[in-house]
Structure 1
Amino acid sequence: MSKKRSAIIVSLFLAAIFLSIGVFRHFHQDEDQRFESYTRSLFCQEVSGSTITLHYTLKDPSAYGIKDTPITYGACSTDTSAICASVENALALLQSYDRKELSSKNKLTYDVLEDYLSSSVKEAKFSLYDEPLAPLTGTQSQLPVLLSEYQFYDVSDVDTYLKLLSKTPEYFQSIIEFEKAKSEAGLFMASYSADDIMKECQAFIDMGDENYLYSSFEERLKSLKLKEEEQASYIEKNASAIKEYIFPSYSLLKDGLAALRTSGKNNNGLCYLPKGREYYENVVANETGSSRTIPQLQQLTQTQMLDDLRAMQTVLAASTQGSSISSDVFKTQGTVLEDSNPASILAGLEGMLKDSFPAPPEVSTQIKYVQKSMEEYLSPAFYMVPAIDSTKNNVIYINQGHMPDDISLFTTLAHEGYPGHLYQTVYYASRKPDPIRNLLNYGGYTEGWATYSEMMSYYYTPLTKEQATLMQKNTSVILGLYALADMGIHYDGWTLLDTVSFFRGYGITDTNTIEDIYDLIIADPANYLKYYIGYVEFLELKKDAMDKWGDGFTQKRFHKAVLDVGPASFDVIRKHIF
C-alpha cells in the first residue's frame, strides 16, 4: 500500500524531541556514530507507530529494542499546523549533523533523508488534500490484503492480530473524520469516485463467509501446529471478529461516504481546487522522484513517445519487405510460452539475470491468486514486500481477471518478480542499508524500476525481436498517453471531453474505456506518473551513464549502480553514481 509522506512526519516530530535529548548523551561519539544512533532511534520511533507497519517491517522487533508497542492502525490527522511543525523540526534536527564528517554510506542516508524531508515540508501544508481512499489503490482495497498476509510467527502474533481487528472501526472512523474535514474545506472527492469506493465496500461485505480473511487465517494458523481445540478456538475468535469489527467497519465507511458524496466542489482535476496546481506539482515531485517541472515532464514524455513510435514505424516498414510481422501483434496473444506456469516463468526470468544484473540472493517465492469475487477491485498483480529481517520468503499475487494471455503474465511476473520488485527488494536488503531507508516511499524509483524491468522482459519472451519491439514500444506509448492525460487533467484542466478528444487523436475511440481512465486519474493523481516517469528517468540515467562511462559502460555496471543506491529521488541517484 502506498504510504503518503504526511504519514511519517507526525511521529518524526515526536522522534525529534526524543532525539534532541539523546544526542547530548552521546557527545563522546564521532559524527558517524551519532548519526547512526539518530537514524536508528528515528526508525524505531516511526516503525512503532502502526502495528501493520511494525509487523511488515520487522519479524523480530525486540532485536531493535522495540517492545510493548500499542496495537493500532494509526490514524488520519487533520491538524495541518502540527504536521507542518513536525516535518520542519525533523528537517532541522537532521541538518544539525555535519554531513562532511560522515562515511559515504551515511552521506547517502543523509542525502536521501534530507531530500525526503525537504519535499515533505512543501507538501505538509496540503495535508487535507491527501486522499487515503481511491478505487483499486486506496485503504479500503489494500487493508484486507495486508491483513490476509499478516504472518503468524508465533501465538502472540495471532493474539495481536485479533486485537488489531477490533481496532478497525475506530481506524475507519478516523478516515471518515478526515473525509469530513476535507468536505468542510471544499476538498472532498468527486461523487463518482465515492460511488466506486462504496461499490467496493459493498462487494467486500457481500463476500460473507467466502471472504478470504477466513480462509487465509486458517491457512496461516496451520504453520503454528497448535492443539486441535486451541486452533478451533482461534478460528472461532477470528470469525467473530470479522463479523463484529471488519464488516461493520466497511458498512461504516460506505455510509460515511454516502453522507458526503454530494459535498465535493470539484469533479475535475486538482488544478480546479484552490492552490490545486501547486499541490499537484508537489504530488508529482514526490510520487515520481523527478525534479523536472510539469511542462518539462510533458516534453520528456512526448519525446519518449516519439522515439517509441519511430521504432515501431521502422519495424513495420521492414515488415512490408518480406518480414512475417502481422497486425495481430497488438491483439491478445493467446498461448505463446511452452510452459505458462507462473513458478516456471519466474524461475526462467531469474535465470536470465546472469549477464546483465548483479547476482540475486537465494529466496523462495509463493504465487497466490486474488479471490475471484475481488478481481474487479484489485490491481492486476502485486508483490508483498517482506520484513527487512526476513527476506527469504516472498509472495506475489496474480489477478487472473487482468491476464488476457501468457505474454501478459510473463511481463507482469517480470514487473513483480525478476528483475522487478522482488529482485530489487531482496538485492537491496542484502546490501544492509540503514533501516530508516526502508520506511521512505519513493514510488518513482520502485515502480519506475519495475516498469523498466517489464519493458526489458518482452525481449526475453519467445517472440521474434520485431514482435517484441512492437509490443514493448506499444506498451510504452500507452503508458505515455496515460501520463500525458494525468498531467493534462490535473495540471492543464482537461475535462472528460478534452480527454476523450486527446485519446481519439491516437486512435483510441472507446468512450467507456476513456471515461474509466479519466475516473481513475481523477481519483489517484500521479499514480500513472510514478510508473511511466520513473521508467523514463531510468532510461535517461542510462543515457547519462553511457555518455560518462564510455567504454566502461555495461548493463551490469549500470544496474548495480542504481540498485546499490536504493530508493531515492533521481537527483540523489545521479549525485551518488556519477
Structure 2
Amino acid sequence: MSKKRSAIIASLFLAALFVSVVLFRHFSGNENQRFEAYTKELFRQEVAGSTISLHYTLKNPKSYGIEQAPITFGYCTTDTTAICASAENAIALLHSFDRNRLSKKNRLTYDILENYMVSARALAPYGLYEEPLAPLTGTQAQLPVLLSEYQFYSQSDIDTYLELLTKTPEYFHSILEFEQAKSASGLFMASYSADAIIAECQAFIDMGDQNYLYSSFEERLANAELPDEAKKSYIETNSEHIKNYIFPAYAELKEGLTALRETGKNNNGLCHLPDGRKFYELTVASETGSSRTIPELQQLTQGQMFKDLTDMQKILSPTAEGASVSSDLFKTQGTLLENPDPTAILNDLQDKLTDNFPKPPKVNTEIKYVQKSMEEYLSPAFYMIPAIDNPADNVIYINQGHLPDDLSLFTTLAHEGYPGHLYQTTYYASRKPDLIRNLLNYGGYVEGWATYSEMMSYYYAPVSKEQATLMQKNTSVILGLYALADMGIHYEGWTLLDAVSFFRSYGITDTDTIEKIYDLIIADPANYLKYYIGYVEFLEMKKEALEAWGDDFSQKKFHKAVLDIGPAPFDLVREYALKK
C-alpha cells in the first residue's frame, strides 16, 4: 500500500537527518563505512518517528537497535520555515560524503537520497498546499485499514496497539489544526471534497459495533498464546478505546471539516492558487519520478494514446475514422475464467512469470476483502507491504464493490500481486538493499511498474490476442485520458465544463462519471499521473534498452535490470539499469 510522499512526511525525514549531524561528525573509518553507518542511523531515527511506520517496517525493532520508541502516530506540522531549514541541513550533511569514494551500491543510494532531499527542499515552502485528507488515499481512509492489519507478534505488541488507539484524538487534532491553517491561508480544499470526507467519516462512525476494528482485533488476538481471561480483558479494552478514542476522533474531524467547508477559496485546479502551478510542477516531479516538464508529459501521453488508439482501430476496422474509446469494451465482461478464486488466479499469474521475469521468492499471500460498508470509500484493491524482516507474509485486500467481473479481478491481482506490487516488493527485498531505501517512496516507479504489470496481464488472460489487445489498449487510453485531465485541471485551469467537453471528444458522455473523475482529480493532484506516467516511462525505457542492447535484449534481462535498481527516479533507473 503506497503512501503519498509529501512535505509533511518529508519534514520528519529531514528533521531526522539534521539530528544525525552530531552523530557522524567524528565517525572514523573509510568513506563506505561512514556512509553506511549514516544511512543505518538515518533509517533508525526515521522509522521510529511513527509507531505505525515502525511496526509495519520491522517485526523485531530491537534487532535493528531500536528500543523504547515513543508510541505515536506522528503529527502534521505547519512550520514551513523549520522544514526548509531542515532540508538545507539534510542536503549539506549528505554532501559531506565524498561520492566518488563510494561503492556502486552506495553511490546509487547516495544519488537517490540526494534526489529525494532536493525534491523535498523544493516542496518545503509549500507545506500548507499539501493535503493529508483525500477520498480513497487520505489518512481518514487508510488509518483504519492500517490499524486492522497491525500484527500481534508478542503481547507487548497488543499493549502498544491499545495505547496507540488512545493517541488517535491528538493525531486527528493535529490534522484538523493543519486544515485550519490551510483555511487561514486561503488554501482549504474544495467544499465538495470536504463533503466527501465528512460523509466518509460519518459512514465509519455509523458502522458502530459492526466496525471491522472490533472483529479484526479479535481475529488477531485469537492466535496469541494468552489465557482466555487475558484475551477477554484485551477485547473489552479494545472496545472501550474504539468508543472513547477512535469514534470521537472521527467525529471531531467531521465537525471541524464541516465548520471549514465554506472557507475554501478555490473549487478548481491548483493553478488557480498563488504559485499553484509551480507547486503542481513540483508535485508531479515528486509523484512520478519523471524529470520531464508538464508540456513534455502531455506530449508523451498524447503520443502513447495515439499509438494505442491506432492499434485498436486496426483491429476494430481497417477503415475506422476518428479516435474514440470503445465504451463496450469497458462494460462487464461476464465470466471468462475457469476458476475465479483469487488464490488460484495469483498462482496462475505466478506460473506465467517463468520465461520473462527473474524467479520470485517463496512467500505466503492472504487474500482479504474490504468490509462492505466501506467499499465505496476504498480503492478497488491494495497490497499491504510486509515488514523488512518478515517479507514472507503478504496480504492483498480486494474491494468487491469495484470489481464487476472476473477479468477485472484477474488484471487487478496482476497489479497488486504478480508481476505487480507483491512480486516487485518481495523480489527487491531479496536483493538486501540499504535499509533507508525501504523508506523512500517513489510512486511513479512503484505504481508505474504495477500498471505495466496490469497491462501485460491482459495477454495472460484466457482471451484471444485481438481481444486482449483491444482491452489492454482501451484501459491504457482511459488512464491516458485521466492523466491529461489531471494536467489540464491543475496546470491549465480546466473547469468541470472543460473536462466534460474533453472527455466527450473521446466518446465518454456520462456527465455524472466525468464529474466524479473531476472531483477525485481536484482532491488528489497527480495521483493518476504516477500510475500512467510511471507506466509509460517503463515503456520508454524498454524501447531504449532494446536499442542499446540489440541482440542481447530480452524481456527477462530488462525486467531484472529495472527491478534490481528498486524504487528511484526514472533518470537514475535509466543511468544504472540500461548500462548493463
- Return the alpha-carbon distance in structure 2 between the equivalents of residues 259 and 208 of structure 1: 24
Consecutive aligned runs of 4 or more in structure 1 exceeding 6 Å deviation? none
For the residues of structure 2 that align with 1:327 and 1:228, how far apart are their CA atoms?
A: 56
Partners in 1 of 2:348 and 2:30 — Cα distance? 48
In the alignment, the residues of structure 2 paired with residue 510 and residue 327 of structure 1 have an alpha-carbon distance, to the nearest angstrom, of 11
Deviations 1:200-256 (A, max 9, x none): 000000000000000000000011131111110000000000000000000000000
Contact map agreement 2:7 2:126 (CA 8 A) in 1: no
Offset at residue 21 of structure 1 (A): 2.4
Q: How far off is 1:427 after superposition?
A: 0.3
- Which position in structure 1 is the counterpart of 2:144? 144
CA distance in 1, matches of 2:161, 2:271: 41
1:16 aligns with 2:13: no
Question: 2:513 maps to what in 1?
Answer: 513
Q: 1:48 corresponds to which residue?
A: 48
The separation in 2 between residues aligned to 1:99 and 1:458, in whole angstroms, is 43
What is the correspondence of 1:175-214 to structure 2 with a 5 Å cutoff? Answer: 175-214=175-214
Superposition deviation, residue 340 in structure 1: 0.3
The residue type paired with residue 467 of structure 2 is Q
The offset of 1:290, in angstroms, is: 0.3
Task: Indicate conservation of the 8 Å contact 1:205/1:247, yes or no.
Answer: yes
Task: State whether residues 6 and 130 of structure 2, in contact with CA within 8 Å, keep that contact through their aligned partners in structure 1.
Answer: no
Per the TM alignment, residue 327 of structure 1 is displaced from its structure 2 partner at its CA by 8.9
Partner of residue 501, structure 1: 501
How far, CA to CA, are the matches of 1:24 and 1:143 in structure 2? 38
Equivalence for 1:323: none
Q: Which residue of 1 aligns with 2:166?
A: 166
Task: Quote how far apart the aligned CAs of 1:315 are.
Answer: 1.0
| 2:323 matched residue in structure 1 | none
Structure 1 vs Structure 2: percent identity of aligned residues? Answer: 70
Q: Which residue of 1 aligns with 2:104?
A: 104
In 2, Cα distance between the equivalents of 1:26 and 1:139?
39
Q: Does 1:134 align with 2:139?
A: no
Shift of residue 14, structure 1, vs aligned partner: 4.0
| Per-residue CA distance 1:93-147 (angstroms, 9 max, x = gap) | 0111011100111011001100111111111110110000001110000000000
The 3-state SS of whatever aligns with 1:152 is coil
Structure 2 counterpart of 1:299: 299
Q: Report if aligned partners of 1:12, 1:90 keep a CA contact under 8 Å in 2.
A: no
SS of the residue aligned with 1:390? coil
Mapping 1:384-533, distance limit 5 Å: 384-533=384-533
For residues 3 and 45 of structure 1, do their structure 2 counterparts lie closer, same or farther at Cα, with a shift above 3 Å needed?
Answer: farther
Q: Which amino acid in structure 2 is aligned with residue 47 of structure 1?
A: V
1:546 alignment partner in structure 2:
546
Counterpart in the other structure of 1:80? 80
Q: Distance in 1 between matches of 2:215 and 2:76?
A: 30
- Contact map agreement 1:15 1:41 (CA 8 A) in 2: no
The answer (yes or no) to whether the contact 2:165–2:246 under 8 Å persists in 1 is yes
Query: Which amino acid in the other structure matches residue 338 of structure 1?
Result: E
- Match of 1:25? 26
CA distance, structure 2, for counterparts of residue 319 and residue 376 of structure 1: 41
Displacement of 1:319 in angstroms is 11
Aligned length: 572
CA separation of 1:54/1:269 partners in 2, compared to 1, >3 Å: closer, same or farther? same
Aligned-partner residue type, residue 175 of structure 1? I
User: Secondary structure of 2:383's partner?
Assistant: strand
- 2:329 and 2:474 in contact (8 A); partners too: no
- Hey, what does 1:361 align to over in structure 2? 361
1:266 and 1:327 map into 2 onto residues whose CA distance is 33
Distance 1:26 1:88 in 2: 21
Tell me if structure 2 keeps the 8 A contact 1:361–1:430.
yes
C-alpha distance after superposition, 1:442-501 (max 9, x if no partner): 000000000000000000001000000000000000000000000000000000000000
Partners of 1:11 and 1:45 within 8 A in 2: no
The residue aligned with 2:257 is 257
Change (3 A) 1:191 1:327: closer
Distance 1:350 1:505, change over 3 A: same
Matched to 2:201, the amino acid is: C
- Aligned partner letter, 1:516: K
Residue 5 (structure 1) aligns with: 6
Q: Secondary structure at the match of 1:125?
A: helix
The DSSP-based 3-state class of the residue aligned with 1:396 is strand
1:378-437 CA-to-partner distances (Å, cap 9, x unmatched) read 000000000011000000000000111000000000000000000000000000000101
The one-letter code sitting in structure 2 at the alignment partner of 1:148 is: S
- Is this contact kept in 1: 2:4–2:287, CA < 8 A? no
Q: Aligned with 2:25: secondary structure?
A: helix
| Structure 2 unmatched runs, 5+ | 321-325
**Retained in 2: the 8 A contact 1:380–1:402?**
yes
Normalised by the length of structure 2, the TM-score is 0.97
Query: Which deviations, in whole Å up to 9, do the C-alpha atoms of 1:505-555 show, x marking residues without a partner?
Result: 011111111000000000000000000000000000000000100001000
- Alpha-carbon distance in structure 2 between the residues aligned to 1:71 and 1:36: 27
1:252–1:288 CA distance, 2 compared to 1 (3 A): same
d(CA) in 2 for partners of 1:317, 1:13:
56
1:28-61 Cα deviation digits (max 9, x unpaired): x100000000000100010010000000000011
Distance 1:496 1:328, change over 3 A: closer
1:225 is matched with which residue? 225
* Partner SS, residue 458 of structure 2: helix
Q: Would the alpha carbon gap of residues 137 and 8 (structure 1) be closer, same or farther in structure 2, given more than 3 Å must change?
A: closer
**Unpaired segments ≥5 residues, structure 1:** 321-325
CA shift for structure 1 position 87: 1.2
Please give the secondary structure, in 2, of the residue aligned with 1:360: coil
Q: Deviations over 1:249-285 (max 9, x none)?
A: 0000000000100000100000000000000000000
User: C-alpha separation between the residues in 2 aligned to 1:328 and 1:273?
Assistant: 39
The alpha-carbon distance between structure 1 residues 229 and 26, as it changes in their structure 2 partners (threshold 3 A), is: same
Of 433-442 and 13-22, deviating more is 13-22
Secondary structure, in 3 states, of the residue corresponding to 2:144? helix
TM-score w.r.t. length of structure 1: 0.97
> What amino acid does structure 2 have at the position aligned with 1:40?
K
Q: Alignment partner of 1:460: what SS?
A: coil
Distance 1:94 1:452, change over 3 A: same
In 1, Cα distance between equivalents of 2:444 and 2:57: 21
1:17, distance to aligned residue in structure 2 (A): 4.1
Q: Which whole-Å CA distance do the structure 2 matches of 1:475 and 1:71 have between them?
A: 43
The separation in 2 between residues aligned to 1:171 and 1:19, in whole angstroms, is 26
